Amino acid sequence: MSEYTDFLKKYLNIGLTRPEPGADFYDKDWQKNINDTNQFGNIDKWKAAFLPNYASRGVLEVGCGVGRLSVEFAKMGCDVLGFDISPWAIEQAKKRVKGTPYEESCQFEVGDAYNPPTKELFDTVMAIDVIEHLERPFDAMKAWYDRLRVNGHLIIFTPNAFKEEVLLRMSLGVEPEIEPTAHINMQTIWSLGTMANSLPGEKTVRFHPCPIPSEVSNPALNVFLLCDIQKGGFYAKG
């Protein structure tokens, strides 16, 4: 296990001082990737296999970027609030819905992950590719969880540090592929589950096999982790 731990630390760049990226970083990142329609692996897979399970009256999207997923929820009849630390991305998100049937039901605001820009409660809070960028992931997770109604779902999607690729590279003695500089807090099913189960009150925590980019039978080895935290003790989603 120590050999794997050393390998994983190198893969995660643990021990290096890497500050949490700020608004300027994400402004530039979104300007560079504004036309990347494949940002989430395959948007059609998201729509078919994932989004309908969490379409609800009220959806809060953390780190919404230019609003692609927020708009998909709005198309399903949801009232959506998306927020992001990047003012430039939020400006693009607002342009995306301006003059469309979703202009009123899909709102966007600037805000950081630790302080959602609303005191409203939501049925679904969604954080896609966010938690791995944060210095204080549990503080952020708790802030998102606090915005849930009872029986609401907090959905966290993040790259998996313990994926099959890493285990294979270790077994072959191949150097790990270092994660992007902005990924300062990579998660495993165990680290993410520990944080989720430390949230206050009664809750149900599940990890689902992730359809993006492809699914393996064991969620712990997926390329991405898909964590579903329901506020309250009764699990109501499939």
pLDDT per residue as tens digits for the range 142-198 = 999 999 999 999 999 888 877 656 666 656 666 656 556 677 888 888 889 999 999
74, part of any domain: yes
125, part of any domain: yes
User: In the block, which residue shows the tokens 């608004």?
Assistant: 23
Any idea what the CATH number is for the domain that residue 52 is in? 3.40.50.150
Burial of residue 99 (CB within 10 Å: 0-12, 13-18, 19+) is exposed
Per-residue pLDDT tens for 93-152? Answer: 999 999 999 999 999 999 999 999 999 999 999 998 899 889 899 999 999 999 999 999
In this structure, the number of other CB atoms found within 10 A of the CB of residue 191 comes to 16
17, part of any domain: no
Residue 109 domain boundaries = 2-11+39-231
6, part of any domain: yes
Domain tally, the chain: 1
- Provide the phi-psi class of 216: left if phi over 0, else alpha when psi is between -120 and 50, else beta: beta
- What's the token pair of residue 58? 């009220």
